[in-house]
Amino acid sequence: MCGIVAYVGQKDAYPILINGLKRLEYRGYDSAGVALFETDIIVSKKKGKVQELVNFMDTRPRNGKIGIGHTRWATHGVPDDINAHPHSSGNGRLTLVHNGIIENYALLKAALEKEGHKFKSETDTEVLVHLIEEIQKRDNLPLEEAVRIALTRVIGAYAIVVLDENEPGKLVGARKASPLVIGIGENEFFLASDATPIIEHTKRVVYLNDEEIAVVRQSGEMEIKSINNEVLTPFIHELDMEIEMLEKGGYDYFMLKEIYEQPNTIADCMRGRLNAEEGWIKLGGVDEFANRIANAQRFIIAACGTSWHAGLIGEYLFEELARMPVEVEYASELRYRNPIITEKDVVIALSQSGETADTLAALEMAKEKGALIYGIVNVVGSSIARMTDAGSYIHAGPEIGVASTKAFTAQVTLLTMMALRIGYQRGTISESYFRLLLNELASIPAKVERVMASNQLIEYIAGEIKDRPNALYLGRGYNFPIALEGALKLKEISYIHAEGYPAAEMKHGPIALIDENMPVIVIATNKSAYDKIVSNIQEVKARKGFVIAVVTEGDTVISELADHTIEIPDTEEPLTPLLSVIPLQLLSYHIAVMRKCNVDQPRNLAKSVTVE
């Protein structure tokens, strides 16, 4: 939520900031702003997307070799020009951008108002910049020291970058529970919420840790301190990312590109980890803690949104293949209960971004209780990746569309490998079935490619249902989480109300909704309970529902009943989700395009949910 970018160096800051903001726009697009420092700090900000800011900047000064920028996902205060970042101190000397939430801002604001501070916006961020100003002017402190002291008084989450008009040539950045990456160039530095604005300039980065403060200077110096004033030695990472990964590559939307990337991303997730011919799976994180994981009392999977749906598939996989007891928890619920978690449990976190605040907080709680924390994360160096005891990256590459697609299938691929690896060690899967699933998993990328061949048919079906106000998704077993995921994809990008349900549960309530206006998307590839799902389809048809069924190639029974069928290649049942989700991703995509929705940046959403 919210993206920040900053530059100090020898080049013009404005184009670097604007390109950076475009890359970070997936994190929020309620407003955007920049502050550029040449002789004075000039702040320009606008409600709306980065393009609104770009248009506005046609008439504004754009000079300066130092500057900060922000793209906002509104928390405190409506999305408008005034609440847009950057925010300035009362005396105009300091300017700041912020990602996160200052939870005690009301108390701080009241105290500052007593000291005579006047606020222009409704934001928590403006309170923070006034607090730094107050501390700085009281003791005549250098910027970094005022920032450090101010942050000791703050409760909440922040990644910030601050400019001081009286201290030219330097930026001060800090983080706690919101990400901040520093790119190191030749006498220049880039600060950003993630590496995407940095990669085109340098591959050398430092990931700031919680409660660390960085000072970077135009002269090429960098210092990092803890909030307790200890000097720290930064660890420089080399980014493993190419600029092409951040471009649309000829597709209309990132979401479509990411759907089509899945044959490759699933293969990338398995690369070097699975060898079907030799019959092995290696996962560094699992291998390192092999006995503790295989002998765990239970697995608790914590995640949000689409990652939670992947977790639900994980439950089915771990139970069936590794005979492990599993609980799947919404991270936001887990953290606010008083759950029974012990050192015998393994808590598995699933997160594309690795920054989801609820997931992070749930993990911190579980860590305190002594559980082993295992992260399944996409973004390298993200907060979750760094706080876990062990983990596996899913290697899906940058996912820019707000609707998660390729990260989901990579998460499911990773969970499948993990279940197989642990099941093999625990002796809960036969050698022959293990080998069969390994071979089958290795063939999934080619089968995903074959599902893509139905794109035109799916587009046609999308046209048939695009104007219906509701949709019901039904699935059983491994396809139940896919029903949930299909419904989430549809609602988040096309704003059509949709529900996912276990097919058999339909008769306990949702059946009341079915009439000729209700599209019912049934994922009916199951081998077990096949007859039951056929009966469910008959129940829907008897009430004149409009049935779209995802079936296994060659199915003749369901194609007689359903209004439309979409075929997917046959596979072993535990691997079905990797194929059955693809038509649902494409269906949502086409419906959203036909409804003229902004597919990559749906309203009210952001890619990385760093607020609770």
The DSSP symbol for 354 reads: S
Active site residues per annotation: 2, 607
Provide, rounded to whole angstroms, the least separation between the CB of residue 363 and ligand M6R: 11
Which residue type, as a one-letter code, is found at position 144?
E
Residue with Cβ nearer ligand M6R (88 or 178): 178
- Pick the piece of the chain touching ligand M6R (CB under 6 A) from 225-233, 256-264, 352-360, 468-476: 352-360
- Smallest separation (angstroms) from ligand M6R to the CB of 418: 17
Lookup result for tokens 């990931």: 207
Residue 127 interacting with ligand M6R (CB under 6 A): no
Indicate whether 356 belongs to the interface with ligand M6R (CB under 6 A). yes
Closest to 364 measured CA to CA, from 352, 382, 349: 349
165 φ/ψ angles, rounded to the nearest 5 degrees:
-65, -30
Per-residue binding letters, 13-52, with ligand M6R (x by CB under 6 A): ----------------------------------------
How far apart are alpha carbons 534 and 531 in whole angstroms? 5
Place of tokens 């199915």: 555
Rule CB under 6 A: say whether 95 interacts with ligand M6R.
no
311 near ligand M6R (CB under 6 A): no
Contact call for residue 307 and ligand M6R (CB under 6 A): yes
491-550 residues near ligand M6R, rule: CB under 6 A: 492
Q: Does 99 bind ligand M6R (CB under 6 A)?
A: no
Least distance (Å) between residue 359 CB and ligand M6R: 5
Q: Applying CB under 6 A, which part among 49-57, 69-77, 303-311, 426-434 lies near ligand M6R?
A: 303-311
| Region 390-409 residues binding ligand M6R, contact defined as CB under 6 A | 402-404
Identify the residue among 353, 383, 494, 580 touching ligand M6R (CB under 6 A). Answer: 353
Closest CB 178 distance from ligand M6R, rounded Å? 14
In 122-169, at which residue ranges do the beta strands (DSSP E only) sit? Answer: 156-164
Q: Which two tokens stand for residue 387?
A: 């706080």
Is 202 near ligand M6R (CB under 6 A)? no
From first CA to last CA, the distance across the chain in angstroms is 10
Which position's Cβ is nearest ligand M6R? 305
Q: Under 8 Å CB-to-CB from 140, ≥6 apart: which residues?
A: none
Residue type, 450: R
As measured in angstroms, the least distance from the Cβ of 22 to ligand M6R is 20
Which candidate, 16, 10, 4, 397, places its Cα nearest to that of 201? 16
If the CB atoms of residues 23 and 45 are measured against ligand M6R, the closer one turns out to be 23
Site string (463-492) toward ligand M6R, x via CB under 6 A: -----------------------------x
Q: How far apart are CA 242 and CA 3, in angstroms?
A: 20
| Encoded amino acid at 357, one letter | A
User: In this chain, which stretch among 240-248, 298-306, 498-506, 526-534 interacts with ligand M6R, using CB under 6 A?
Assistant: 298-306
Least distance (Å) between residue 356 CB and ligand M6R = 3
Using CB under 6 A, count the residues that bind ligand M6R. Answer: 15
From the list 135, 146, 131, 125, the residue with the least C-alpha distance to 215 is: 146
Contact flag: residue 346 with ligand M6R (CB under 6 A): no
Structural contact between residues 141 and 179, judged by C-beta atoms closer than 8 angstroms: no
**Token code pair at residue 425:** 């060690």
In whole angstroms, give the CA distance from residue 137 to residue 132: 9
Residue closer to ligand M6R (CB basis): 9 or 28 = 28
Query: In 228-336, at which residue ranges do the beta strands (DSSP E only) sit?
Result: 231-232, 237-238, 274-275, 280-281, 298-303, 326-330
Helix (H, G, I), strand (E, B) or coil at 158: strand
Only segment of 91-99, 263-271, 345-353, 522-530 that touches ligand M6R (CB under 6 A):
345-353
Residue type, 332: S
**Amino acid code (one letter) for 472:** L
306 binds ligand M6R (CB under 6 A): yes
Residue environment code for 256-273, b if the CB has 16+ CB neighbours within 10 A, otherwise e: bbbbbbbbbbbbbbbeeb
- Residues interacting with ligand M6R, by CB under 6 A? 304-307, 351-353, 356, 359, 402-404, 492, 605, 609
